[in-house]
């Protein structure tokens, strides 16, 4: 075997995808397994529990390494920074029953199919594993695990038509069905017992169980019972919450799992139709879509006819989308590459609803099943909810380190305890109990519960403000956000567009502008025809539905859509054509109506849409509309006005959305369905510009100003034109009027592998500005630009195309461009996600706010994704706002900051409380004494638990300050605060412990000496009562002295208990991130109540109470001395916290003195660029080959393997 097993032991699964994993092969070994089973019994199940927490240890202990081919167990490890392990058992699927009489089946089947490559001969079995609900089978030839449940990507367009056009044979279908499994997105409701077991086996609850058992052994019943009740409550609440989520998810998908569908079967070369339940579908099946509404049970490629689909489930937009059939292009490119970014126009996604079907000459609408089950778009969405990306937040990492420190602390205490008690000859069992007790004191079992309360309260406050959160642990992250990406349309601006004007063009000259709403209607002509037919609108439920832009444009014509459908057009085989006719309010037109014969839907990659239309009884024409620059390129040069660019700039610079229109006549006798898009969209005649107004939302400007004042960067990421985006950014206040905008343009050089990049200042283009610039002498202008650049007051704007080229050819420049990039226009959904990831690599905490339409990927990737859409698509987003305005962003940041500060306060408090108790116990252990059960109970339950619950009630401060709370527990101010307060507590307790022993009334054996010695000096008037008291005390003493009572115990316990209240008050931070502490009435009342009870215990002289609490009577002077000690501690603690820990100018001065610089990548880069006088290089062009060598070394670029992520995972 030699090197072979090690060589084939490891591989990568889903390489380059979001859920990329490493996979290792292992083989179970009998003797190892037997040893492990023995270990389970000998350790009373502790080893089994350890293996449950650490699956990799389980595999390493039970199995030996082997090649993946021989493996019966595989170990998976994620490739992100978390490196999470999971264990999977290899299963065998037998297909022998299906192919028993046809051993030659694999050869006769599609040879290049994974199904034929996975069947092992002669056993006719398939080896498989299931990871995150997706099945992978072993490819015998490629020697790797491959995904099944999806059609292979290598098929060409013509191959899909040829191989699957007539359906699968019954035999092929049976084999595929067994290998792929059922086509269901099955999210079963998890049984409550499973949830309970999973929750109870959490390390935290196991530690609590250990603590509770120990406390019961020590007769510490009350607190043990209280902890059991709290834990059970916490477990039941969590289980209830998880169960609700499970039911909700189950309901979300169950409707799609059993739909009756019609498929086409290939029987000896003949096609026949067959009805079956959708869970029997397999990739490659031929679906026949009937008329009427249908829910799609899988992803499918449309190969004949046309469909109108409602994709709101995926995109969040209830806008009908037109799907066209896959062309029968005869080339060697895989179908997806052939269609480029447009492939989605041919794909029907699972979970979406087909509203309307239009058959072509064949008379049926057919689609080939592309993906089934959890491989589909809907399945992917479900998997992103079931298996969320783990969070990497310093707070959680530091929390673990902090717990490790406490455990180390406890270990020292254990050693000390063992030494003290063993040297004094205590019983071994007692020594073990006492030393284990130290762990439960030093590591507070209530810590995780106390931390989650703050987040639960914040979640409740957000809910009241209409912000819903499905990922509560991200709330703390919102407190660190320092860059927010905003989508433009529907987020910063109003959703709908208003038609503002039309700039017609005749004989390559622009005519007078036609304003809307106008008194006179538009005259009949090519522009009018383009507005009436160049859209993808449909009539659905009696209303015209579609893109808001199309709706506004069509409504301006006053025409109507005739939805009676089924119009026979002369010379056309098509029986389904949408016909538009003049409406009752329309101006007279010389035609009865116009039929839309064929559509080339809008494509964000091509930035245009086209239709082939025919006047009833007239000739066929092509109409195109889209981005003006794109439309002008497709037109004959002689039809485009010479002043096209300046006119376009004039309107886009004012923030208008501009659409270009064009048309051409088609030769008679040509079938519209036979024409390719390239043929149709060429040699067009330019018709003019349609100008739409997109108003800013009322809240946009104040919110962006608030974020800017809080030093939170705002970035616009939009699919719109760059000029429009820049203007909206200026109007919204993202770019201040004094700042310069630099346009970054990157282009591929035709015929070579290199690219060029140019920096151009974007001039203002108001007429008066032009005059001003003309009057200026050139040096003055340059000086003005130079000044703006030197002070860092410049913003980069770039398009999605440029961004992609920069990412591919100028990797080293990307961080520099992102540092001042404010406007990213014409961005595709994939580019939006990539941009967010690139910002994260620069150590920004990125928030993304979008309306869910095409921002799903970015919302998922960002540290905090806020969806303004309540559609199902937004389930991928951690936060959803009920009100569709960006006012929720500062609200979320405020609450996030408050929650983060609350978490730190709770951490500090819990650390101090456990340390104070720990120090007190260790001091008393020195005298072989300890706190009594009721003393522990009072501190643990009456003080800490109540404080833990009420401390988090404090709300967020209404103003966002221009700095963020610290992000890590292990930061100098926080550590200093904890250390100093521990020293204060230690000093006070040791001082009290030592000084009480020096008092004249102190006695080690007689715990009544203090009050007796006092009574001896009292006058006769009170001697009778004192005798009575003494007798009572003696009686009480005789009954209940349990060995805890001593002057040291009383002193240390009273000091430590009130010390807990002091730290609770001192650590309850108010401004600048939370409201002042006095606004938290419940907490203040609780503190006053607790302090009152504690002072009552200090000064009261009630025998029964003292006896119960294991306290002894001390002279009043000593009680006053204790109060003075506490007052001094409070003053010192408060002074240090306010004058040092919370003194921001002091820490900034220290940073400056010690030349401490932020380690964040973007801060380091800012410092580098401040020194670089050549940046940004204005009016210069770089070429990728020449620059790559000179700059790469100085600026370490970073790679992003998921940059070109498949966009089918919406």
pLDDT in tens, 616-632: 878 888 999 998 988 99
pLDDT of residue 1179 exceeding 70: yes
The arithmetic mean of pLDDT across residues 726-742, rounded, is 87
pLDDT of the residue at 1205: 31
Confidence of residue 107 (pLDDT cuts 50, 70, 90): very low
| 928-932 contacts at long range (C-beta below 8 A, 24 or more positions apart) | 928/420, 928/421, 928/424, 928/426, 929/1043, 929/1044, 929/1046, 929/1048, 929/1049, 930/434, 930/1044, 930/1049, 931/1044, 931/1049, 931/1053, 931/1110, 932/1042, 932/1044, 932/1049, 932/1109, 932/1110
CA dist 1084 and 947 (Å) reads 10
| pLDDT tens sequence across 1081-1094 | 999 999 999 999 99
pLDDT of residue 633 exceeding 60: yes
**8 A C-beta contact, residue 610 and residue 710:** no
pLDDT of residue 1064 exceeding 90: yes
More confident position, 317 or 1004:
1004
pLDDT of the residue at 477: 87
For residue 709, the surrounding DSSP H or E stretch is: helix 700-709
| pLDDT tens sequence across 1008-1059 | 777 765 444 433 333 333 333 333 333 333 334 556 788 889 999 999 999 9
pLDDT of the residue at 1093: 93
Count how many Cα atoms sit within 13 Å of the Cα of residue 890 in the half-sphere of its side chain: 23
pLDDT of the residue at 405: 84
The set of catalytic residues is: 487
Tell me the percentage of the chain whose pLDDT exceeds 90. 15
CA dist 1210 and 1203 (Å) reads 15
Query: What are the distances in angstroms from CA 785 to CA 767, 788, 794?
Result: 19, 5, 9
Q: What is the mean pLDDT of the chain?
A: 80
Confidence of residue 111 (pLDDT cuts 50, 70, 90): low
Helix 888-925 vs helix 972-997: angle between axes, to the nearest 10 degrees?
30
Closest CA to 113 of 141, 83, 82, 133: 141
The arithmetic mean of pLDDT across residues 313-324, rounded, is 70
Two tokens at 1195?
Answer: 């600026």
Closest CA to 314 of 299, 328, 325: 299
CB contact set of 346 (below 8 Å; sequence gap of 6+): 301, 302, 323, 324, 325, 326, 339
Closest CA to 1069 of 891, 906, 896: 906
pLDDT of the residue at 326: 83
For 11-25, 436-450, 700-714, which range has the lowest pLDDT when averaged over its residues?
436-450
pLDDT of the residue at 502: 86
Two tokens at 55?
Answer: 């699956």
The arithmetic mean of pLDDT across residues 592-612, rounded, is 82
CB atoms closer than 10 angstroms to residue 69: 14
CA dist 780 and 773 (Å) reads 9
pLDDT of the residue at 1066: 92
The arithmetic mean of pLDDT across residues 672-691, rounded, is 83
CA dist 967 and 969 (Å) reads 7
Output DSSP code: residue 111. T
Closest CA to 757 of 1178, 193, 384: 1178
**8 A C-beta contact, residue 672 and residue 620:** yes
pLDDT of the residue at 56: 92
For 366-375, 382-391, 1121-1130, which range has the lowest pLDDT when averaged over its residues?
382-391
More confident position, 587 or 761:
761
The arithmetic mean of pLDDT across residues 34-49, rounded, is 90
pLDDT of the residue at 1206: 33
For 552-561, 579-588, 659-668, 843-852, which range has the lowest pLDDT when averaged over its residues?
579-588
Closest CA to 944 of 446, 535, 454: 446
For 250-254, 435-439, 803-807, 1108-1112, which range has the lowest pLDDT when averaged over its residues?
250-254
pLDDT of residue 193 exceeding 50: yes
Two tokens at 238?
Answer: 């969590």
- 517: cis peptide before it, omega within 30°? yes
pLDDT of residue 475 exceeding 70: yes
pLDDT of the residue at 1195: 33
- Strands, E assignment, 169-316: 260-267, 270-277, 286-289, 294-295, 299-304, 306-310
pLDDT of residue 637 exceeding 60: yes
Helix 1116-1136 vs helix 1047-1067: angle between axes, to the nearest 10 degrees?
30
| pLDDT tens sequence across 861-887 | 888 988 887 665 556 678 888 888 888
pLDDT of residue 565 exceeding 60: no
CB contact set of 51 (below 8 Å; sequence gap of 6+): 36, 57, 58, 61
CB contact set of 566 (below 8 Å; sequence gap of 6+): 575, 576
Count how many Cα atoms sit within 13 Å of the Cα of residue 275 in the half-sphere of its side chain: 4
pLDDT of the residue at 790: 52
- Strands, E assignment, 1109-1175: none
The arithmetic mean of pLDDT across residues 1107-1111, rounded, is 86
The arithmetic mean of pLDDT across residues 899-916, rounded, is 88
The arithmetic mean of pLDDT across residues 331-343, rounded, is 72
Radius of gyration of the chain (CA): 37
The arithmetic mean of pLDDT across residues 945-950, rounded, is 87
pLDDT of residue 729 exceeding 60: yes
Confidence of residue 57 (pLDDT cuts 50, 70, 90): very high
For 178-182, 204-208, 972-976, which range has the lowest pLDDT when averaged over its residues?
204-208
> Pairing mode, if any, of strands 353-358 and 125-131?
unpaired
pLDDT of the residue at 112: 67
The arithmetic mean of pLDDT across residues 178-183, rounded, is 88
pLDDT of the residue at 392: 61
The arithmetic mean of pLDDT across residues 192-213, rounded, is 84
| pLDDT tens sequence across 203-234 | 878 888 888 888 888 777 777 887 788 788 77
Output the pTM of the full model. 0.76
Confidence of residue 1133 (pLDDT cuts 50, 70, 90): very high
Two tokens at 1170?
Answer: 């401040």
**8 A C-beta contact, residue 308 and residue 130:** no
More confident position, 609 or 774:
609
Tell me the percentage of the chain whose pLDDT exceeds 70. 86
> Pairing mode, if any, of strands 467-469 and 306-310?
unpaired
């Amino acid at each position: 075997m030699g090197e072979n097993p090690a060589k084939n032991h490891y591989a990568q699964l889903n390489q380059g995808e979001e859920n990329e994993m490493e996979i290792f092969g292992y083989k179970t070994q009998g003797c190892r397994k037997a040893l492990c089973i023995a270990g389970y019994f000998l350790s009373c199940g502790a080893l089994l529990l350890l293996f449950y927490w650490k699956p990799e240890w389980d595999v390493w202990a039970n199995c030996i390494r082997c090649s993946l081919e021989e493996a019966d167990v595989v170990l998976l490890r994620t490739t992100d920074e978390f490196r999470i392990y999971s264990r999977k058992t290899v299963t065998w699927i037998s297909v022998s029953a299906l192919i028993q009489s046809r051993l030659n089946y694999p050869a006769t089947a599609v040879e290049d199919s994974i199904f034929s490559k996975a069947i092992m001969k002669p056993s006719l079995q398939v080896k498989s594993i299931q990871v995150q609900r997706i099945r992978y089978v072993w490819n015998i030839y490629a020697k790797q695990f491959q995904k099944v449940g999806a059609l292979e990507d290598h098929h060409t367009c013509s191959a899909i038509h040829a191989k699957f056009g007539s359906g699968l044979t019954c035999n092929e279908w049976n084999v595929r069905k067994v290998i792929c499994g059922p086509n269901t997105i099955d999210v079963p409701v998890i049984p409550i017992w499973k949830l309970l077991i999973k929750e109870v086996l959490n390390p935290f609850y196991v530690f609590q169980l250990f603590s509770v058992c120990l406390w019961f052994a020590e007769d510490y019943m009350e607190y043990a019972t209280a902890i059991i009740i709290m834990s059970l409550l916490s477990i039941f609440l969590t289980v209830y919450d998880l169960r609700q989520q499970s039911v909700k998810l189950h309901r979300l998908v169950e409707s799609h799992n059993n739909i009756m569908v019609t498929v086409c079967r290939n029987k000896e070369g003949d096609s026949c139709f067959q009805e079956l339940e959708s869970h029997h579908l397999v990739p490659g099946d031929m679906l026949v879509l009937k008329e009427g509404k249908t829910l799609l049970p899988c992803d499918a490629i449309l190969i004949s006819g046309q469909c109108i689909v409602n994709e709101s489930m995926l995109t969040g937009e209830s806008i009908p989308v037109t799907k066209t059939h896959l062309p029968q292009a005869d080339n060697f490119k895989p179908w997806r590459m052939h269609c480029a970014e447009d492939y989605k126009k041919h794909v029907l996604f699972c979970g979406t609803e087909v509203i309307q079907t239009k058959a072509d000459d064949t008379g049926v609408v057919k689609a080939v099943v592309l993906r089934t089950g959890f491989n589909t778009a809907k399945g992917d969405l479900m998997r992103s909810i079931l298996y969320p990306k783990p969070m990497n937040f310093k707070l959680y990492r530091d929390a673990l380190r902090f717990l490790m420190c406490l455990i180390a602390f406890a270990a020292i205490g254990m050693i000390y305890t063992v030494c003290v008690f063993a040297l004094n000859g205590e019983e071994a069992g007692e020594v073990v109990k006492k030393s284990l007790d130290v762990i439960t004191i030093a590591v507070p079992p209530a810590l995780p519960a106390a931390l989650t309360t703050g987040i639960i309260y914040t979640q409740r406050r957000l809910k009241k403000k209409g912000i819903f959160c499905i990922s509560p642990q991200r709330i703390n992250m919102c407190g660190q956000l320092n860059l927010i990406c905003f989508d433009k349309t529907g987020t910063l601006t109003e959703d709908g567009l208003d038609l503002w004007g039309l700039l017609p063009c005749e004989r390559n000259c622009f005519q007078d502008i036609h304003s809307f709403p106008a008194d006179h209607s538009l005259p009949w002509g090519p522009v009018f025809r383009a507005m009436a037919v160049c859209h993808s609108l449909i009539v659905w439920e009696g209303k015209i539905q579609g893109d808001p832009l199309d709706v506004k444009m069509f409504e301006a014509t006053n025409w109507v859509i005739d939805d009676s459908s089924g119009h026979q057009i002369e010379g056309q085989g098509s029986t389904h054509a949408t016909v538009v006719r003049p409406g009752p309010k329309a101006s007279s037109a010389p035609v009865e109506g116009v039929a839309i014969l064929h559509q080339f839907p809008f494509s964000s990659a091509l930035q245009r849409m086209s239709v082939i239309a025919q006047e009833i009884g007239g000739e066929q024409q092509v109409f195109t509309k889209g981005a003006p620059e794109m439309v002008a390129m497709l037109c004959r040069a002689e039809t485009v006005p010479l002043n096209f660019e300046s006119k376009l700039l004039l309107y886009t610079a004012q923030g208008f959305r501009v659409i270009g229109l064009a048309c051409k006549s088609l030769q008679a006798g040509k079938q519209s369905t036979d024409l390719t898009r390239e043929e149709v969209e060429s040699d067009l005649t330019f018709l003019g510009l349609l100008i739409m107004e997109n108003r800013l939302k009322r809240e946009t400007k104040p919110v962006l100003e608030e974020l800017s004042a809080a030093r939170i960067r705002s970035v616009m990421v939009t699919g719109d034109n760059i000029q429009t985006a820049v203007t909206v950014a200026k109007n919204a206040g993202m770019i201040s009027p004094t700042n310069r905008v630099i346009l970054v343009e990157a282009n591929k050089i035709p015929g070579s592998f290199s690219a060029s990049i140019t920096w151009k200042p974007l001039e203002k283009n108001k007429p008066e500005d032009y005059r001003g610039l003309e009057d200026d002498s050139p040096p003055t202008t340059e000086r003005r630009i130079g000044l703006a650049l030197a002070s860092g007051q410049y913003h980069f704007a770039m398009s999605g195309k440029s961004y992609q080229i920069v990412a591919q050819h100028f990797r080293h420049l990307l961080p520099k461009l992102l540092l001042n990039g404010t406007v990213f226009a014409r961005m595709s959904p994939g580019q939006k996600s990539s941009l967010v990831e690139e910002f994260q690599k620069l150590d920004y905490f990125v928030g993304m706010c979008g309306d869910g339409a095409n921002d799903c990927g970015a919302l998922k990737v960002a540290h905090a994704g806020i969806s303004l859409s309540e559609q199902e698509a937004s389930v991928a987003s951690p936060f959803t706002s009920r009100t569709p305005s960006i006012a929720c962003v500062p609200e979320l940041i405020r609450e996030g900051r408050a929650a983060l500060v609350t978490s730190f306060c709770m951490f500090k408090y819990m650390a101090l409380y456990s340390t104070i108790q720990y120090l007190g116990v260790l001091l008393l252990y020195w005298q072989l004494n300890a706190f009594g059960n009721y003393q522990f109970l009072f501190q643990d339950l009456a003080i800490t638990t109540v404080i833990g619950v009420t401390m988090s009630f404090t709300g967020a401060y209404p103003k966002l300050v221009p700095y963020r709370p610290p992000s890590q527990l292990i930061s100098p101010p926080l550590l200093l605060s904890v250390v100093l307060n521990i020293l204060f507590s230690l000093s006070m307790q040791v001082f009290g412990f030592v000084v009480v022993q020096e008092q004249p009334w102190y006695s080690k054996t007689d715990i009544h000496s203090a009050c007796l010695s006092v009574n001896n000096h009292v006058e006769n008037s009170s001697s009778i009562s004192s005798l009575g008291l003494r007798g009572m005390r003696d009686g009480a003493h005789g009954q209940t002295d349990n060995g805890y009572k001593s002057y040291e115990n009383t002193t240390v316990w009273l000091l430590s208990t009130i010390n807990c209240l002091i730290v609770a008050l001192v650590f309850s931070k108010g401004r600048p991130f939370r409201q002042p502490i006095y606004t938290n009435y419940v907490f203040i009342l609780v503190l006053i109540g607790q302090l009152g009870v504690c002072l009552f215990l200090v000064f009261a002289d009630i025998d029964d109470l003292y006896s119960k609490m294991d306290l002894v009577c001390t002279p009043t002077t000593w009680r006053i001395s204790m109060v003075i000690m506490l007052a001094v501690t409070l003053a010192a603690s408060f002074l240090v916290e306010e004058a040092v820990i919370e003194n921001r100018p002091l820490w900034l001065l220290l940073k400056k003195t010690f030349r401490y610089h932020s380690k964040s990548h973007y801060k380091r880069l800012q410092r580098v660029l401040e020194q670089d006088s050549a940046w940004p290089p204005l009016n210069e062009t770089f070429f990728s080959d020449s620059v790559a060598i000179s700059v790469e070394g100085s600026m370490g670029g970073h790679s992003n393997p998921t940059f070109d992520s498949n966009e089918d995972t919406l």
